[in-house]
Amino acid sequence: MDVTSSDSALRGFLHGLPGVDEVGARARAEELARRSVKADAKRLALDLAISMIDLTTLEGQDTPGKVQAMCAKARQPGYGAPPVAAVCVYPDLVPLCVAAVKGSPVRVASVATAFPSGRAALDVKLADVKSAVAAGADEIDMVIDRGAFLSGRYLAVSEEVAAVKAACGDAHLKVILETGELGTLDGVRRASWLAMLSGADFIKTSTGKVAPAATLPVTLVMLEAVRDFARFDGGRRVGVKAAGGIRTAKDAFRYLVLVNEVAGEEWLDPRYFRLGASSLLNDLLMQRVRMEAGRYSGPDYMTVD
């Protein structure tokens, strides 16, 4: 049975998902956060984390110069580090990024659908998506209509995600759940399933504009959802992107441990796990320099971005 065929079927399915043990999820996330990653494993983890970064700038004050500099850094972070996974910008800056990362493995992601609030008519959102895709975006980060989700109009959310997916064409679709506005971990689990059932290639925690942004328990629940969904839907693997508030190498490692322990090793790949961040890259590079040079580096020796 196609659960997205009607509002009642969808509600029945989503509310039939087992509830999340909130205390248990927190405890598990906390326990995994205590794992330490050292020496050779740390070296590998640093480069893996760098290769999973969606280097992001989503500010009203973004200028072409700033975005160009970010793209240059995305291609070549320096200190021998591998390129990052993608750059993530507003739709109007996509053409600039496409030109700036040409010839490198770095992909261009664009937020769309009236980011960050998602408060616009569907045709406006679809036009937003189409213009970004036409400009050459490889990945689209859409936001769900949280108002519709919280009032229980799941089919409306599902249809919107499906329509955006259709508008994306070959571009990958990341669906931002904005977990800081969903209230409970049960809500996070339902929104994750809703997005995946509607065609998401990635589910993403947050816009970065709402606090709390990505947290370990939320990401844990989302990783469980993609793991279970792969068993449910004939092995289709959906990715997870944790975005917002991940600033230090230590934070990043906690997410990597979580991915490995919850979803499994197959997800430890930039195709299935991403970290949306801006200042994180400098901290990872500083750690890399520390391991190479045997002394601590400082922010004076990193780019100001």
Least separation in angstroms between residue 259's CB and other proteins is 24
Q: Quick check: 30 binds other proteins (CB under 8 A)?
A: no
Closest CA to 47 of 244, 303, 281, 261: 281
Q: Which of 202, 301, 303, 304 binds other proteins (CB under 8 A)?
A: 301
- Compare residues 64 and 299 and give the one whose CB is closer to other proteins: 299
A 10 A CB-CB count for 252 gives 27
- Compare residues 234 and 298 and give the one whose CB is closer to other proteins: 298
Segment holding 12, helix H or strand E: helix 7-16
Tokens of 111: 């937020």
- Compare residues 271 and 290 and give the one whose CB is closer to other proteins: 290
Least separation in angstroms between residue 296's CB and other proteins is 4
- Compare residues 185 and 252 and give the one whose CB is closer to other proteins: 252
Interatomic CA distance for residues 109 and 98, integer angstroms: 10
Q: Which of 2, 170, 265, 300 binds other proteins (CB under 8 A)?
A: 300
Q: Quick check: 232 binds other proteins (CB under 8 A)?
A: no
Q: Which of residues 269-298 bind other proteins (CB under 8 A)?
A: 294-298
Given a contact cutoff of 8 angstroms between Cβ atoms, the answer to whether 71 and 100 are in contact is yes
Least separation in angstroms between residue 295's CB and other proteins is 4
Interatomic CA distance for residues 202 and 49, integer angstroms: 17
Task: List CB contacts of 144: < 8 A, sequence separation 6 or more.
Answer: 118, 157, 160, 161, 175, 176, 177, 178, 191, 194, 195
Which residues belong to the active site?
141, 204, 241
Q: Quick check: 299 binds other proteins (CB under 8 A)?
A: yes
Interatomic CA distance for residues 139 and 162, integer angstroms: 15
Q: Which residues bind other proteins (CB under 8 A)?
A: 294-301
